[in-house]
A and B are shown apart, each in its own frame.
Chain A
Amino acid sequence: AQSVTQLGSHVSVSEGALVLLRCNYSSSVPPYLFWYVQYPNQGLQLLLKYTTGATLVKGINGFEAEFKKSETSFHLTKPSAHMSDAAEYFCAVSYSGGYQKVTFGTGTKLQVIP
């Protein structure tokens, strides 16, 4: 069974500081990994995804994530936080078997302090 753990339901950073949102997954087969962002009362938008190939994935809005198989992690980073980054972020995992059920983490709310 696949699962996703996001460490920290709330993260606060100062504007201009590094953003690091943690995601660990468990999957018995090679995973597909996703990060989504959600602004209040809106749907989710894809930030980036890992399927195969390069383990460092770049996404929109300056975010990137690195797939580390040995650590079963897919942490999301951004070098310099902007006020507009304040939102909730979800890590998700699916795999090549079955119907590709997607399992979401419980989310991390990012607060950016001016």
Chain B
Amino acid sequence: DGGITQSPKYLFRKEGQNVTLSCEQNLNHDAMYWYRQDPGQGLRLIYYSQIVNDFQKGDIAEGYSVSREKKESFPLTVTSAQKNPTAFYLCASREDRLGNEQFFGPGTRLTVL
């Protein structure tokens, strides 16, 4: 089955630790995205990548980093510089054509203690 996987589903970390969230897709999509979701705020774009080895900051990139070494993979690292990292993180991908929708993974809920 084609789709997007995110792991783990739940993640707990101590304050001050970096943590990496995994996102893999087998849809052969060029574009991939990371969003952060907080109650009442909708989805906010962290980073996006339109092609391998290239990525751009979104609206709230501070404290986060990404890499795009393979078309299928777009991991997100939440660094200790992120002041309020506890949130639900969603990865998405999209075939890069006008009007195409995004496909979302199941999300990772990160809790920093």
Asked if residues B99 and A51 are in contact (CB atoms below 8 Å), the reply is: yes
Residues of chain B contacted by A52 (CB below 8 angstroms): 99
Q: Specify the chain A residue showing the minimal Cβ separation from B99.
A: A51
Say whether chain A's binding surface is mostly helix, strand, loop, or mixed: loop
Question: How many inter-chain contacts with C-beta < 8 Å in the A-B complex?
Answer: 57
- The answer to whether A41 and B107 touch (CB under 8 A), given A90-B43, A104-B42, is yes
> Does B69 reach chain A (CB closer than 8 Å)?
no
Asked if residues B106 and A105 are in contact (CB atoms below 8 Å), the reply is: no
B: number of interface residues (CB 8 Å): 27
Looking at the complex, which one of A34, A42, A104, A107 makes contact with B101 (CB distance below 8 Å)? A34
Residues of chain A contacted by B107 (CB below 8 angstroms): 41-43
- The answer to whether A43 and B105 touch (CB under 8 A), given A99-B50, A104-B42, A104-B43, is yes
A32-B98, A46-B103 known; 8 new pairs, CB 8 Å cut-off, are A9-B40, A36-B104, A41-B109, A43-B90, A44-B104, A90-B43, A101-B48, A106-B40
Which B residues lie at the A interface, using CB under 8 A?
Answer: 4, 6, 31, 33, 40-43, 45, 48, 50, 56, 88, 90, 92, 94, 96, 98-99, 101-107, 109
